[in-house]
């Protein structure tokens, strides 16, 4: 089997109403989907996280190197692309583009052997995953304490066992919102907070101390990813577990975070940190260091499917036992017109639990009509 073509699809969809996290407003959702074609007619799908026009440009530039290559040789492809661009692209859009290609090759590999990708990675260790609801963003109008509490209670009613609140809007306001959400969901449901690195260590520690009493599951990206000593200070000051890593890349990037134990929970994005090939390696490194791994997930159904294939082979957080603590799926609940439409059978949850797709490859089928409908023109 040979690779005969690699295409980068840039997709976009307008939102019915904008929403904000700590650093920006969104009024559009974009996605970059990678399609790899082979001489046997098998096609694989992948997705890259990150700025779609830039990751698409990298995929297009890299494609000629891979025409004629064996799509099953995922290690060869990964090392070839990484080595050729090492001097210029150890992180960021280059590795994001490579992630999309790698995922598409695992889709082909699974289809070729007639099994889900997780089987080829030695799984499944689990066939379903507990999901937490990512939402609780800001809206243009209304009292946030009111609408955030209402939204959070809705997730609990749907059966989610944990929710994640966006913070980074000012320490006092964040603490007020966290209290409102905790009150709305009750003491039994998990509550995590995510600042998207809007704070420095001083502000992050101040917020952490104010919300520690609310039993916070983790404090995600309290400080910018480059701020090594800031991470150390926040981690030393707070009893709340510290999470992060959606802006880090490859085993080489995660090595320092793990060696210095700057995080309690690493969150590589499968569509950014290097694809399924690389994220399995990062997961094994995290296990060696005794650091929990919960993937960052922010994309279409293809990204969710790839993340679920990886989740199926992640080690449990605590060692195998009668009641091990298992990794969770980040399940984006914000408006994303492309996310569900792109798959013939969208990935849904039932009472906060999502099944790992068990069809060949990623286990999903892409709707070409939706692909055409959302194509950026
Ligand atoms: Ca995040």
Q: How far is the CA of 267 from the centre of ligand 1 (A)?
A: 8
Q: Are the C-beta atoms of residues 289 and 317 closer than 8 Å to each other?
A: no
Q: Is 44 helix (H, G, I), strand (E, B) or coil?
A: strand
Q: How far is the CA of 221 from the centre of ligand 1 (A)?
A: 7
Q: Are the C-beta atoms of residues 47 and 9 closer than 8 Å to each other?
A: no
Give the pair of three-digit tokens for residue 238: 């707070």
Q: Indicate the domain borders of the chain.
A: 3-114+368-373, 119-355
- Name the catalytic one among 9, 296, 317, 349: 296
Q: How far is the CA of 76 from the centre of ligand 1 (A)?
A: 31
Region for 161 from its dihedrals, namely left if φ exceeds 0, alpha if ψ lies in -120 to 50, beta otherwise? alpha
**Number of H-type helices and E-type strands within the chain:** 13, 12
Task: Name residues of the chain where pLDDT drops below 70.
Answer: none
H-helix segments, the chain: 52-66, 74-85, 93-113, 117-120, 144-158, 171-185, 201-211, 228-237, 250-259, 275-288, 301-311, 337-341, 368-373
296 is catalytic: yes
pTM: 0.98
Q: Rounded distance, CA 314 to CA 316, Å? A: 6
Q: How far is the CA of 220 from the centre of ligand 1 (A)?
A: 6
Q: How far is the CA of 197 from the centre of ligand 1 (A)?
A: 9
Question: What's the confidence (pLDDT) of residue 377?
Answer: 73
Give the pair of three-digit tokens for residue 289: 């260091």
Question: What's the confidence (pLDDT) of residue 296?
Answer: 98
**pLDDT, tens only, 142-175:** 999 999 999 999 999 999 999 999 999 999 999 9
CATH number of 119-355: 3.20.20.120
Q: What's the topology of domain 3-114+368-373?
A: Enolase-like; domain 1 (3.30.390)
């Amino acid at each position: 089997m040979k690779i005969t073509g690699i295409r980068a699809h840039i997709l976009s969809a307008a939102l019915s109403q904008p929403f904000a996290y700590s650093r920006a407003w969104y009024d559009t959702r974009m996605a970059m989907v990678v399609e790899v074609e082979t001489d046997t007619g098998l096609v694989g799908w992948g997705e890259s996280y990150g700025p779609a026009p830039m990751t698409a440009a990298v995929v297009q530039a890299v494609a000629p190197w891979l025409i004629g290559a064996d799509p099953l040789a995922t290690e060869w492809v990964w090392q070839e692309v990484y080595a050729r661009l090492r001097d210029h692209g150890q992180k960021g859009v280059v590795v994001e583009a490579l992630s999309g290609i790698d995922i598409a090759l695992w889709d082909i590999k699974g289809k070729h052997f007639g099994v889900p990708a997780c089987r080829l990675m030695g799984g499944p260790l689990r066939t379903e995953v507990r999901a937490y609801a990512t939402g609780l963003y800001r809206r243009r109008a209304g009292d946030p304490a009111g609408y955030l509490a209402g939204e959070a209670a809705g997730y609990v009613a749907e059966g989610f066992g944990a929710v994640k609140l966006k913070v980074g809007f000012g320490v006092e306001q964040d603490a007020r919102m966290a209290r409102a959400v905790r009150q709305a969901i009750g003491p039994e449901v998990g509550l995590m907070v995510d600042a998207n690195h809007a704070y420095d260590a001083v502000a992050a520690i101040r917020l952490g101390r104010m919300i520690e009493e609310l039993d916070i599951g983790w404090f995600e990206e309290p400080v910018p990813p480059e701020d090594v000593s800031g991470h150390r200070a926040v981690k030393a000051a707070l009893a709340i577990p510290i999470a992060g890593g959606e802006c880090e890349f490859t085993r080489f990037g995660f090595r320092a975070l793990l060696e210095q134990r700057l995080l309690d929970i690493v969150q590589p994005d499968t569509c950014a940190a290097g694809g399924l090939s690389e994220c399995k390696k990062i997961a094994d490194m995290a296990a060696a260091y005794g650091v929990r791994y919960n993937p960052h997930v922010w994309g279409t159904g293809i990204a969710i499917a790839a993340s679920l294939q990886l989740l199926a082979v992640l080690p449990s957080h605590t060692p195998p036992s009668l009641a091990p603590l298992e990794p969770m799926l980040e399940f984006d609940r914000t408006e994303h017109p492309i996310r569900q439409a792109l798959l013939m059978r969208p990935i849904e949850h039932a009472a906060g639990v999502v099944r790992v797709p068990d069809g060949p490859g990623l286990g999903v089928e892409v709707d070409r009509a939706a692909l055409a409908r959302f194509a950026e023109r």
